[in-house]
Structure 1
Amino acid sequence: MLKAIPVSNAWTSTDMPPRLHIGWAGWLRVIARAVPLIVLVFGGLVVLLFVRLIERPICGLGRPVTPYITQFVCRGAFVLLGIRFNSVGIPMKNGGAVVANHASWLDIFALNARKRIYFVAKKEVSAWPGIGWLARATGTLFIKRSRTAAAEQVAMFKERLAVGHRLLFFPEGTSTDGLQVLPFKPTLFAAFFDPALRDQLSVQAVTVIYHAPTGEDARFYGWWGDMDFGPHLLSTLAAKHQGGVTVVYHPPVQLSDFEDRKALAKTLENTVRAGLDRHSKTQIG
């Protein structure tokens, strides 16, 4: 689980940030943060699974209680890590699609911290050690990314939207260093334009912005390319001073207002990039 998770067509950069040297004080910080974080995450998972045993037979796909557990765990994780969390704008209330830029494994915590959402991931993620299990437990929707599976995707989206789920996608298709937004892949929006979804679907763009600790590389929290997860996690846990994360919720748009998937993808991409440009220099307390 501590090795890099293979990502097809992963984005990479010509230079990588310097690896943090962890001295004895750093290892003490790793222990002090890791132990309560493990208790929080896995304790929360146990509670979630127990509640889901009651929730599922009564509510089926509906999850009126367990998303609050996920949200509590994600907010608590930032407190334990010492990473300041801030949000701007209003999360979408009704069911629909949410798209965001992708910069780090911390995105999972950041995007769940205020808004109760369900990630949409490729089918292969369900088989990843540890992460796949956690993803299934929290209601991640796994899809096959192929033209032949388009009808199946529409059916799954309709089923989830019918119970008010907000489905989150990463249209860049990979993670970056957090300082830029890559072009959004229009193919990811193909299923949205099915007649069964087009007239009822709202889409909210979200920008996730990381603020590095004072004196550290601006890409400190970014996790991309072939970076190993273990060293990146340890660097985050060992940091003497932490930075912060800002999540910007942009006004939702109606899918029916767009002519095709390319126009939608470009508009959402520009919105997310503008949010990064506007708020990346903002300091959070």
Structure 2
Amino acid sequence: MGWLRVVVRGLLLGGVTYGSLVILLLLRVIERPLFGLQRPVTPWVTQFVCRAAFLILGIRFSTRGTPMAERGAVVANHVSWLDIFTLNAPQRIYFVSKSEVAGWPGIGWLARATGTVFIQRKGSEALAQKNLFEARLRAGHKLLFFPEGTSTDGLRVLPFKSTLFAAFFADGLDQILSVQPVTLVYRGPKGQDARFYGWWGDMGFAPHLLKVLAARRQGSIEVVFHPPVRVADFPSRKALAAHCEAAVRSAFPD
């Protein structure tokens, strides 16, 4: 039965995901020359796929709070590859991801098609990344990034790195941008390890995917939207990063 669930869920998830990717790319052919960096239509396709994914997998999904309407960015704790579905489902965002993801078979194509911003981990690339951030933010894109810099087991939050927050303090941007902290709370299936959905360290993607697809009982995911804050209200990127980290930690179960 476990393998049957893998096959059925895998085919459904793959069909919806890559079938919708074809539709998205066709729409982008029209959207790009008319709107440039703006994407008024294709993010709706992404949201549909992500919402459908939870129905297919049988994972209970809920939100608390409201995605901000203000212009700016979203920051969250990083737990799993499921974060892609979890964070896209309730809002229209563009992920910021490490450059290696662009080369991953299947996932890299999806990431590029949906407007993901790819960054290098090298300190020498900091200025170029800051400029790229500024361009996308000025275009009105709501960027989502993980200040921890890596994923965890879902039971803790690592210290937030402040480097990428620097882009919000560029000339004029700090006066118009807001940042919304978001907490992802994963709860494993009843009777399973609380870290069931966590994907971190040297874990392989394929084994973890198969485990999730095969699960007879699934757990739940809650997305907690904290009040957005104005960048201009903070004296520095470190102060803003510290506030966001504290907000994300505050929604973790005791």
TM-score normalised by structure 2 residue count: 0.95
Q: Does residue 62 in structure 1 map to residue 35 in structure 2? A: no
Q: Does residue 122 in structure 1 map to residue 98 in structure 2? A: yes
The alpha-carbon deviation at position 189 of structure 1 amounts to: 1.6
The alpha-carbon deviation at position 152 of structure 1 amounts to: 3.1
1:235-282 Cα distance to aligned partner (Å, 9 max, x none): 10111111110001111001111111211111100100101237xxxx
1:159-203 Cα distance to aligned partner (Å, 9 max, x none): 222332110010000000101111001223222222242222210
User: Contact 1:212 / 1:218 at 8 angstroms: preserved in 2?
Assistant: yes
Residue 209 of structure 1 aligns with an amino acid whose one-letter code is: V
| Structure 1 equivalent of residue 225 of structure 2 | 249
Q: Find 1:73's aligned residue among 49, 69, 78.
A: 49
Q: Does residue 206 in structure 1 map to residue 219 in structure 2? A: no
Structure 1: tracts of 5 or more residues without a match: 1-24, 279-285
1:50-108 Cα distance to aligned partner (Å, 9 max, x none): 11111111111110110000000000000000001101111011331110000000000
In the alignment, the residues of structure 1 paired with residue 101 and residue 214 of structure 2 have an alpha-carbon distance, to the nearest angstrom, of 28
Q: Find 1:96's aligned residue among 72, 75, 99.
A: 72
The alpha-carbon deviation at position 150 of structure 1 amounts to: 4.0
Residue 112 of structure 2 aligns with an amino acid whose one-letter code is: R
Residue 259 of structure 1 aligns with an amino acid whose one-letter code is: P
| Structure 1 equivalent of residue 238 of structure 2 | 262
User: Contact 1:94 / 1:166 at 8 angstroms: preserved in 2?
Assistant: no
Q: 1:227-246 to 2 correspondence within 5 Å?
A: 227-246=203-222
Q: Find 1:218's aligned residue among 185, 194, 205.
A: 194
User: Contact 1:94 / 1:164 at 8 angstroms: preserved in 2?
Assistant: no
In the alignment, the residues of structure 1 paired with residue 61 and residue 209 of structure 2 have an alpha-carbon distance, to the nearest angstrom, of 18
Q: Percent identity?
A: 63
| Structure 1 equivalent of residue 152 of structure 2 | 176
In the alignment, the residues of structure 2 paired with residue 36 and residue 196 of structure 1 have an alpha-carbon distance, to the nearest angstrom, of 46
User: Contact 1:184 / 1:269 at 8 angstroms: preserved in 2?
Assistant: yes
In the alignment, the residues of structure 2 paired with residue 130 and residue 156 of structure 1 have an alpha-carbon distance, to the nearest angstrom, of 24
The alpha-carbon deviation at position 151 of structure 1 amounts to: 4.0
Q: Find 2:136's aligned residue among 160, 164, 188.
A: 160
In the alignment, the residues of structure 2 paired with residue 166 and residue 86 of structure 1 have an alpha-carbon distance, to the nearest angstrom, of 21
In the alignment, the residues of structure 2 paired with residue 235 and residue 122 of structure 1 have an alpha-carbon distance, to the nearest angstrom, of 25
Aligned-CA RMSD value? 1.5
| Structure 1 equivalent of residue 252 of structure 2 | 276
In structure 1, the residue corresponding to 2:89 is in which secondary structure? helix
In the alignment, the residues of structure 1 paired with residue 134 and residue 15 of structure 2 have an alpha-carbon distance, to the nearest angstrom, of 36
In the alignment, the residues of structure 2 paired with residue 135 and residue 124 of structure 1 have an alpha-carbon distance, to the nearest angstrom, of 11
| Structure 2 equivalent of residue 18 of structure 1 | none
TM-score normalised by structure 1 residue count: 0.85
In the alignment, the residues of structure 2 paired with residue 266 and residue 138 of structure 1 have an alpha-carbon distance, to the nearest angstrom, of 29
User: Contact 1:199 / 1:255 at 8 angstroms: preserved in 2?
Assistant: yes
Structure 2: tracts of 5 or more residues without a match: none
| Structure 1 equivalent of residue 60 of structure 2 | 84
In structure 2, the residue corresponding to 1:237 is in which secondary structure? helix
Q: Does residue 132 in structure 1 map to residue 124 in structure 2? A: no
Q: How many residues align?
A: 254
User: Contact 2:77 / 2:146 at 8 angstroms: preserved in 1?
Assistant: yes
